[in-house]
Structure formats: structure tokens, C-alpha cells
Structure 1
Amino acid sequence: MTIQLHVWPTPNGYKVSIALEEMGLPYDVHPVNIGSGDQFKPDFLKIAPNNRMPAIVDPDGPGGKPLSLFESGAILIYLAEKTGKFRPQDPAEWYSHVQWLMWQMGGVGPMFGQAGHFILYAPEKVPYGIERYRNESRRLLKVANTRLGETAYLGSDAYGIADMATFPWVRSAPKYDIDLNDYPNVQRWFNAIAARPAVQRGLALLADKVRPAGAPMSDEERANLYGKKP
């Protein structure tokens, strides 16, 4: 049965579209226009009470019953376990992938996201915010560069869900005036993932809806995206 993907073309959204493509799962796309406030609609809140996308509904969940999930990291773990793909059987290797997924969820996503806000979208330039989050993004890339000098991918020598989660955020580095050439192991990793056909298909998600970097926002969009609404 077909998974229902509620999503918008952002780094967090791409995580799940890439995973679905990599795992060969059929899915239907339901756009959640976060600029116009779709994330606050009652039907969406039933499956994503934190009013954030992505979310999925799997009609064929555990026990053959429908399952809805929000939080991209939880979705990636679920899909890996559902399919058995990108889910190493060795427990130590699996938890290595999970820990690097949590590193992305707790570090790369929030820090890169704040860097993007202050550098590209804040209504006024706040030098402290720009430097704080750009520097933290660079620190995280340094951590990744060290790790990727030890293994081919973040979790192990095998590509996995931590890579699917981290790659869409690292794509944003040039927008923040961060040069991946300063992190040669990350650049090698990035190039290998970018060349994967499933990744390219996942990045084609709602391509006509992608917001150009730094594009002006209306007051309504800013309110919907940056917390002026409950």
C-alpha cells in the first residue's frame, strides 16, 4: 500500500523523500505549504500535533493497521525497520547509525536552520546571531570531517539513515558562506551521496515550490514560519 507523505521542499522534507526513494517504497505527496499556514490546519494537526512537517501515514503499519508518524528522525527509523533496508543486523552498527541520526536531529538541523534564519531571512541583520550559528555549523562540519576520516559514511562504512538525514542540510552550507572544501572528508561524502540516483529523485520533490535563497517574505509567511502564530 502507498505511504502518504505530508511534506514541503525543505531539508527536513528531503530526508524522507530521499529515504522513500532509496527504500523503493511507493508514496503519494501531500504538499504542506508552510508559508501559507497549511501546518496549522486541523487535518494536518491530527497526524503532526507539533505543527511541523514532514509526517507520514502508512496504511499498512504494524499489524496491518494504519500508522501516522511525525518527526523526520522517527520516520527514518520506522522506514528502515519496516523494509529492513539500511538497517544493519549487527546491533552495534545499527546503534552507530542511530546515534549519528540523533546528532543530526539535535545539532545539524537546529544549528544550520538558525544559521539560515539569521543569514537569509531575519528582518534585520544580527551579527551575533549570524556568527553564533555559522560558527556552530562549522564546528559540526568539523566533527563530521573527523568522523568521515574514519568511516565512509556517518554510521559506518555503509550508507544509511544518518547520511540521508544530514545530507540535505549540508547542501545549504554554501548559502551560509561555508566552503565544504575546508572539510575534505565531508566533501568526498557529499559528492558520493549527491551522485546517487535515489537522492536525485528525492531532491526533485515539489521542485516548482522551492523558495529561492533569500527570497523576500510576506508578513503572513514570516508569521507562519517563525512563530508568530500559535
Structure 2
Amino acid sequence: MIELHYWPTPNGHKIALFLEESGLPYAIKPVNIGKGEQFEPAFLKISPNNRMPAIVDTAPADGGDAISVFESGAILQYLAEKTGRFLPKDPRGRATVMEWLFWQVGGLGPMLGQNHHFNRYAPEKIPYAIDRYVRETRRLYGVLDKRLEGRDFIAGSEYSIADMAAYPWIVPYESQGMQLEDFPPLQRWFERIRGRDATRRAYAIADTIEGKTDLRTDEEARRYLFGR
């Protein structure tokens, strides 16, 4: 059983996508980041960076004690290796998936996260910051668009953890100041993933989570998330 410590954010959605695709049995353990639950000692034991998602694998492959994993990229790699799915076994295919996974966790996610912050949540509008991160978002969309020319998925013809990592960050494209029509290969990829049954199921999980807050108006949530 996989315990998924989750909140409906792009990084949370990544792991839900994998679990729904793989069929691994799992249980959702909500971590209300707007109420500061990511700072509770029990959660910090499995995620010392006080960020979700995190998982606990209560039945690891080696038959030993439960294994906890934090950081979304590490979780996707762990689950892919556990199941033998969505990560090629040949060295070239594996290297391709891993470099694009690292591209997402090191670039696409952090830069788009800054876009979200300065466009939607910052207490004051800072034109320089907004322009910088919207421009960087467009550049990264362009990188992904170029990669997807002539390919169904990021690593080639097969769906992989690289796609699962990137897709949730593209979902809020409108709030990032982007239009998918400007990136035709990326748009085709996006629609291909959005149409998967497992994607629909993964995103439906958000509707079952109670206590979600609007970061634009909830001062308590802003204090926890932005260190105010």
C-alpha cells in the first residue's frame, strides 16, 4: 500500500497521475498546506523540507520496513522502479526520461511557480517580476513544444514519468499568461494526456478534498505558504 500525503497542487497531481495509471493500491492522506499541516512533526519525519507530496510505501519490494520518499521527482522514480512501468529499462531510453524529469523539477516547476506567485498571489504587483517569469514561462513552453515535434510523448512514443511530471504544470496555462494555440505540438500532447482515463480519475481526487482555501484572500494560508 502506498500512502500518498497529498494536496491538490501540480506536484500533488503528479503522483496521483502515476498511481492511477499503475493501479497500485494507495490511500490519500491530505496535508492541508493552507493550515500549516506540512509543519507538523509527524509529516516532517517523512518530508523534512516541509513540502508535499510525500509517500510511505508500507510494502517495499525488499520486504523490509516501510520506506518514505519525499520530493515529487524522487517519488516518481521510486514508483517507476517499484512497478517496472513508465521508465524504460534500456540505458538510452532511461536517460532521456530522467533528463526531462530533472528538467521539470529543476526548471519548469520552479519558474512556473514564480509566475503563479507574482501574477496571482503577491501582495503587490511588481511589473519586472511578472514580466520576467511570464517570459521565462514562454521560453520553457517553447522548449517543450520543440521537443514534442513529431513525438506523442516527451521521451518518444511511450507515456512516461517525464510526461506525468510536466503535465500538471501546463494545466493552469491561462493563469500563466499562455495560450496553447501558440504551441501546436505541446497542445496536441496536452490534449492526449488530458483524455486519458487515469488523468480524469487523478484530477477528480481534488474534488474529494475538504478545506481547500483561496490563497488570494486567505491570510492564514498565505502566512503558512509565503512565510509572512
TM-score bracket for this pair, using the shorter chain length: over 0.9
- Are 1:119 and 1:125, in contact at CA under 8 Å, matched by a contact in 2? yes
- Are 1:14 and 1:202, in contact at CA under 8 Å, matched by a contact in 2? yes
Query: What CA distance in whole angstroms lies between the structure 2 residues aligned with 1:172 and 1:98?
Result: 24
After TM superposition, the score normalised by the length of structure 2 is 0.95
Q: Secondary structure at the match of 1:159?
A: coil
After TM superposition, the score normalised by the length of structure 1 is 0.94
Q: Secondary structure at the match of 1:103?
A: helix
Alignment of 1:163-202 (within 5 A): 163-202=163-202
**Which consecutive unaligned segments of at least 5 residues does structure 1 have?**
none
Query: What CA distance in whole angstroms lies between the structure 1 residues aligned with 2:39 and 2:198?
Result: 31
Partner in structure 2 of residue 67 of structure 1:
67
Q: Provide the aligned length of Structure 1 versus Structure 2.
A: 226
**Which consecutive unaligned segments of at least 5 residues does structure 2 have?**
none
- Are 2:38 and 2:52, in contact at CA under 8 Å, matched by a contact in 1? yes
Offset, 1:88: 1.3
Partner in structure 1 of residue 102 of structure 2:
102
The percent identity for this pair of structures is 50
Q: Secondary structure at the match of 1:204?
A: helix
Q: Aligned AA for 2:27?
A: D
Partner in structure 1 of residue 35 of structure 2:
36
- Are 1:18 and 1:198, in contact at CA under 8 Å, matched by a contact in 2? yes
Alignment of 1:29-178 (within 5 A): 29-65=28-64, 66-178=66-178
1:12 aligns with 2:20: no
Per-residue deviation, residues 114-165 of structure 1 (Å, max 9, x unmatched): 1001111111111111111111111000000110004221122211000001
Q: CA RMSD in A?
A: 1.5
Q: Aligned AA for 2:67?
A: L
Query: What CA distance in whole angstroms lies between the structure 1 residues aligned with 2:161 and 2:82?
Result: 13
Query: What CA distance in whole angstroms lies between the structure 2 residues aligned with 1:109 and 1:209?
Result: 23
Partner in structure 2 of residue 223 of structure 1:
223
Q: Which runs of 4+ in 1 moved over 6 A?
A: none
- Are 2:30 and 2:209, in contact at CA under 8 Å, matched by a contact in 1? no
Query: What CA distance in whole angstroms lies between the structure 2 residues aligned with 1:208 and 1:25?
Result: 19
- Are 2:152 and 2:189, in contact at CA under 8 Å, matched by a contact in 1? yes
Query: What CA distance in whole angstroms lies between the structure 2 residues aligned with 1:154 and 1:200?
Result: 20
